[in-house]
Structure 1
């Protein structure tokens, strides 16, 4: 059987410290493998029918009247009208804006949702047959990376940063192809990029200056589409839909 959710942090900490019943813990871990396998199989089969698309990442907390919600909606609609599918995390905020824009543009609107104790729920703009649900973050991230031909990163929190750096790391280490990573909103992203350049790279030499070439920062939906289409023209590719 799978591990039931913890009621609170105290319960989680106590169980990890005490580890009373190792045989039961090992049994639960072993059974979890089958759940993980089923999520991979369902994800692969569903996403393979859709084909590669562009992923839009961003905060679930962004309100519908926020300028970045409205911008994400415009970006997704423009991407969709150009013939590309749109993948989001399937929840509210920026994710909802992405699916809403894709729906308005007439292209595939895909949602990869995750079961969370707060914030996350399906938004109503996902295509009925393209609504996937996951228990495991790492399985969900595999779907994002495997079936995306570009990553549009709107302002967000820790989850957004996690998704962005996952994509950057996999491209940097040549585990996936060098698809464009587009950060939207200079006022939000410039401070982080300046820190990466001045501290991580120039002061501590923990990354290569060339790694910054993996990332582009823009402010408008037209710039996003230009980056994506220039990439496709460079490699003689065409949209999937």
Structure 2
């Protein structure tokens, strides 16, 4: 099976179809580029907390002010704030962080209904691939704070829960802000899910629900202390 042309020849020849840039091997390079950009941009970020919440939260809604208060309090406690970079609760958390003089990070995602990066982001990175973006949310954060949200928020929340449950990450607190919003889900988890043996009793305790921003911050600060005491893992081979 001798090819009719060499790789160099095909590379240097400008003629012919361009659909090769959409093939899976080329996508691997795009994926690699997203990881490289994310790692390079966030490697020196320092302690940070990823904040999630609905893009549909209106600025006049109490949840928006709650997000602002959370972003501000996290910065005052020495954390950078990472969000999805979009509007709604994400913008609120970025606004609070920015106005408090901290580092306000937005990790955007390419969507059919374009949202764009909110104006309060100081360091913004846009991703094509959800899985590359999700890696950055976890790798460069020491905890998750979750405001009321929809499917995207649930997706990030439960992915974090699985990572903690399976010990892929350690000393990683997950706080839910808004008891009235989250209580129904917590009752379901502690009820049918636990009763059928789908999870263990200790798994229920992985979620901390509160209405108090300061309680969330205290949880994150305690985890930061624990993180600092853990030995540094060996570099990957």
The answer for the alignment partner of 1:208 in structure 2 is: 200
1:23-71 Cα distance to aligned partner (Å, 9 max, x none):
x799612211111010001001111021340010001010001111110
Structure 1 pair 26–107 and aligned structure 2 pair: CA distance change class (3 A): closer
User: Which 5+ residue runs of structure 2 have no aligned equivalent?
Assistant: 1-18, 230-237
Decide whether the 8 Å contact of 1:114 with 1:134 is kept in 2.
yes
The answer for the alignment partner of 1:40 in structure 2 is: 35
Decide whether the 8 Å contact of 2:54 with 2:149 is kept in 1.
yes
Decide whether the 8 Å contact of 2:171 with 2:227 is kept in 1.
no
Structure 1 pair 236–133 and aligned structure 2 pair: CA distance change class (3 A): closer
Structure 1 pair 46–182 and aligned structure 2 pair: CA distance change class (3 A): same
Distance across 2 between alignment mates of 1:164 and 1:56: 10
RMSD, aligned CA: 1.7
The answer for the alignment partner of 1:8 in structure 2 is: none
The answer for the alignment partner of 1:219 in structure 2 is: 211
Give the Å deviation of 1:197.
1.0
Larger Rg over CA atoms: 2
The answer for the alignment partner of 2:144 in structure 1 is: 151
Structure 1 pair 99–201 and aligned structure 2 pair: CA distance change class (3 A): same
Give the Å deviation of 1:230.
3.0
TM-score by structure 1 length? 0.83
Structure 1 pair 27–87 and aligned structure 2 pair: CA distance change class (3 A): closer
TM-score by structure 2 length? 0.85
Q: Which has the higher helix share?
A: 1
User: Which 5+ residue runs of structure 1 have no aligned equivalent?
Assistant: 1-23
